[in-house]
């Protein structure tokens, strides 16, 4: 079975990995494993074999049943696999029993995703978040690492602790201490990020967050809207650290933030560990839910549902949201019509070719238009500081004229800021409501 090429680190050979999963009866194996294969590629693992067992639920002891375990052991040896990847979350006991039975290193889905995050994290905050999530996930799994030493420490009632147990306790203590240090550093970084968010709110610049399933084209859309230069390689979790850029539409400035992509069964540890990054979505004025319109119907629905579940988990589900169907340049006319019928309110675009971007910008401006009111001011020259404050807001200045009695300005201000300039108003906002529409 041919899969995509893996992406090993420069100068290194890809690790040979054997994929294992338990699926419900009747599940489509290729469809269910498509994402797992992409995760392997993103991690730089070369898939050398697969074993799938169809059963109601995984075996509580060894994940796969006894007969399938014997088959798996033989297949792993024949494939000369260096590790076994289980496309599911294992409890520590299951993982340890599998490693003992297969005589091979075993990683579950969460550990694989954490490894991908570790490879892709660039910023100091991203690296700290990954390290914290890895430590917290691996802490209860440390016991197996020292089993060979524990056995040298004497049997029950020996009256002393073995060197393995001592080493295990030392490692756990060091891990807990490191977890405490990482959490404090992240709290410091979060305070800085909160200060930046307050600065953006003070400037009254609307913030738009790009949310979506990983590889849906969020980074390509960010580049297309803002002329940014964010990496857009075709890999899962290519973007981890939030990237914020700006663009202007109808004289108004908007900030757009691209954050980490979501996947089905996104491990809870990652949602918690990347809370600061996801907070960029939570604090947005508008969310653009970017959807890969080229995905098959069933997969598209699952992807949309996965994103909505994570948005709800971070309490961002009440923020205004627009669905943006991306990659429509790859669809035939019939498929386009079907998508439009299924998502009648969505904006259809191709971030790659630029199709539909003008309509998307117009939709953004329309959704956020009620944040601004047109006001006309006359500012005496002696009160120049008022103009400084006005420009500091980043609000659109539609007209400016220097006359004998002062500076005449027509600007669009956030509703919350109109009161600051009431002493200089020459027309009430309602009388200008039709201006510029």
Separation between Cα atoms, residue 1 and residue 427, nearest integer Å: 72
Q: Mind giving me the DSSP string for 366-426?
A: HHTGGGEEEEEEEE-GGGHHHHHHHHHTT--EEEEEEETTEEEEEEEEEGGGGGGGGGGEE
For the ranges 79-83, 149-153, 216-220, the one whose mean pLDDT is highest: 79-83
Rg over CA atoms, the chain? 27
Specify the DSSP element, H or E, that contains 244: strand 243-249
129 compared with 181, residue with greater pLDDT: 181
Is residue 138 pLDDT above 80, yes or no?
yes
For the ranges 211-220, 237-246, 399-408, the one whose mean pLDDT is highest: 399-408
Is residue 210 pLDDT above 80, yes or no?
yes
Separation between Cα atoms, residue 387 and residue 80, nearest integer Å: 71
Helices 163-202, 275-282: crossing angle, 10 deg rounding: 20
Tell how strand 406-414 and strand 397-403 pair up. antiparallel
User: According to the model, what pLDDT value does residue 150 have?
Assistant: 41
Mean pLDDT (whole number) for 300-307: 90
Q: Which two tokens stand for residue 172?
A: 């756990």
Tell how strand 372-379 and strand 286-292 pair up. unpaired
User: According to the model, what pLDDT value does residue 202 have?
Assistant: 52
CB contact at 8 A, 136 and 268: no
Mean pLDDT (whole number) for 284-294: 93
Least confident of 140-149, 282-291, 332-341: 140-149
Q: What percent of the chain has pLDDT over 90?
A: 37
Task: Give the closest residue to 293 by CA, choosing from 331, 245, 334.
Answer: 331
The number of beta carbons lying within 10 Å of the beta carbon of residue 257 is 21
Q: Express each pLDDT in 157-178 by its tens digit.
A: 334 444 555 777 888 888 899 9
User: According to the model, what pLDDT value does residue 4 have?
Assistant: 39
Task: Give the closest residue to 97 by CA, choosing from 72, 133, 134.
Answer: 72
User: According to the model, what pLDDT value does residue 177 have?
Assistant: 92
Tell how strand 425-427 and strand 372-379 pair up. antiparallel
Separation between Cα atoms, residue 149 and residue 305, nearest integer Å: 46
Mean pLDDT (whole number) for 349-361: 95
User: According to the model, what pLDDT value does residue 324 have?
Assistant: 97
Mean pLDDT of the chain: 81
Q: Express each pLDDT in 311-339 by its tens digit.
A: 887 778 788 899 999 999 999 999 999 99
Mean pLDDT (whole number) for 32-59: 90
Cα-based distances in Å from 281 to 197, 236, 259, 284, 411: 11, 19, 8, 5, 28
Mean pLDDT (whole number) for 78-107: 93
User: According to the model, what pLDDT value does residue 257 have?
Assistant: 86
Mean pLDDT (whole number) for 370-380: 84
Mean pLDDT (whole number) for 72-84: 95
pLDDT-derived band at 144, boundaries 50, 70, 90:
very low
Q: Which two tokens stand for residue 383?
A: 């009160």
User: According to the model, what pLDDT value does residue 356 have?
Assistant: 96
User: According to the model, what pLDDT value does residue 219 have?
Assistant: 86
Q: Express each pLDDT in 377-434 by its tens digit.
A: 999 999 989 888 888 776 678 889 999 999 999 987 777 678 888 899 986 555 444 4
CB contact at 8 A, 103 and 116: no
pLDDT-derived band at 203, boundaries 50, 70, 90:
low
pLDDT-derived band at 16, boundaries 50, 70, 90:
very high
Task: Give the closest residue to 163 by CA, choosing from 177, 145, 151.
Answer: 151
Is residue 370 pLDDT above 90, yes or no?
no
Query: CA geometry: angle at 121 spanning 115 and 125, to 5°?
Result: 120
Q: Which two tokens stand for residue 70?
A: 């014997």
263 compared with 102, residue with greater pLDDT: 102
User: According to the model, what pLDDT value does residue 146 have?
Assistant: 45
Mean pLDDT (whole number) for 349-368: 93
pLDDT-derived band at 199, boundaries 50, 70, 90:
low
For the ranges 37-46, 175-184, 324-333, the one whose mean pLDDT is highest: 324-333
User: According to the model, what pLDDT value does residue 201 have?
Assistant: 57
Separation between Cα atoms, residue 114 and residue 361, nearest integer Å: 35
Mean pLDDT (whole number) for 5-22: 73
Is residue 242 pLDDT above 60, yes or no?
yes
CB contact at 8 A, 270 and 113: yes
For the ranges 125-134, 295-304, 391-400, the one whose mean pLDDT is highest: 295-304
User: According to the model, what pLDDT value does residue 161 have?
Assistant: 46
Is residue 48 pLDDT above 90, yes or no?
yes
pTM of the model as a whole: 0.69
Least confident of 65-79, 189-203, 388-402: 189-203
Let me know if 185 is exposed, middle or buried by CB neighbors in 10 A (0-12, 13-18, 19+). middle
Mean pLDDT (whole number) for 94-110: 92
């Amino acid at each position: 079975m041919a899969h995509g090429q893996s992406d090993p680190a420069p100068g290194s050979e890809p690790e040979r990995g054997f994929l294992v999963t338990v699926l419900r009866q009747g599940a489509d194996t290729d469809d269910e494993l498509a994402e797992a294969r992409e995760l392997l590629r993103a991690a730089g693992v070369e898939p050398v074999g697969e074993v799938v067992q169809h059963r109601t639920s995984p075996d509580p002891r060894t994940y796969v049943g006894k007969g399938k375990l014997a088959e798996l052991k033989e297949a792993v040896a024949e494939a000369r696999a260096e590790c076994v990847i289980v496309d599911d979350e294992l409890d520590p006991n299951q993982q340890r029993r599998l490693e003992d039975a297969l005589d091979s290193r075993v990683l579950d889905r969460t550990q694989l995703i954490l490894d991908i995050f570790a490879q892709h994290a660039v910023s100091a905050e991203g690296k700290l978040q990954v390290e914290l999530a890895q430590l917290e996930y691996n802490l209860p799994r440390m016991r197996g690492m020292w089993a060979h030493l524990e056995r040298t420490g004497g049997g029950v009632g020996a009256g002393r602790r073995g060197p393995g147990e001592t080493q295990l306790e030392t490692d756990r203590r060091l891990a807990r201490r490191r977890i405490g240090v990482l959490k404090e550093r992240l709290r410091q970084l979060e305070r800085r990020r909160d200060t930046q968010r307050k600065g953006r709110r003070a400037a009254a610049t609307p913030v738009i967050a790009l949310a979506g399933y990983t590889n849906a084209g969020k980074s390509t859309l960010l580049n297309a809207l803002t002329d940014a230069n964010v990496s857009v390689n075709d890999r899962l979790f290519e973007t981890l650290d939030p990237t914020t850029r700006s663009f202007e539409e109808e004289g108004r400035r908007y900030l757009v933030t691209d954050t980490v992509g979501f996947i089905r069964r996104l491990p809870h540890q990652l949602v918690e560990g990347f809370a600061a990054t996801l907070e960029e979505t939570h604090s947005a004025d508008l969310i653009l839910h970017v959807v890969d319109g080229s995905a098959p119907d069933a997969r598209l629905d699952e992807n949309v549902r996965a994103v909505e579940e994570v948005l709800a988990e971070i309490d961002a589900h009440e923020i205004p949201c627009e669905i943006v169907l991306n990659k429509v340049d790859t669809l035939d006319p019939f498929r386009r019509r079907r998508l439009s019928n299924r998502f009648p309110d969505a904006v259809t675009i191709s971030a790659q070719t630029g199709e539909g971007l003008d309509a998307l910008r117009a939709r953004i401006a329309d959704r956020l238009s009620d944040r601004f009111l047109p006001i006309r001011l006359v500012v005496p020259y002696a009160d120049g500081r008022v103009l400084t404050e006005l420009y500091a807001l980043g609000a659109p200045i539609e007209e400016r004229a220097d006359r004998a009695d002062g500076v005449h300005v027509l600007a669009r201000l956030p509703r919350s800021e109109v009161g600051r300039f009431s002493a200089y108003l020459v027309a009430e906002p309602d009388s200008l409501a039709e201006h510029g529409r």
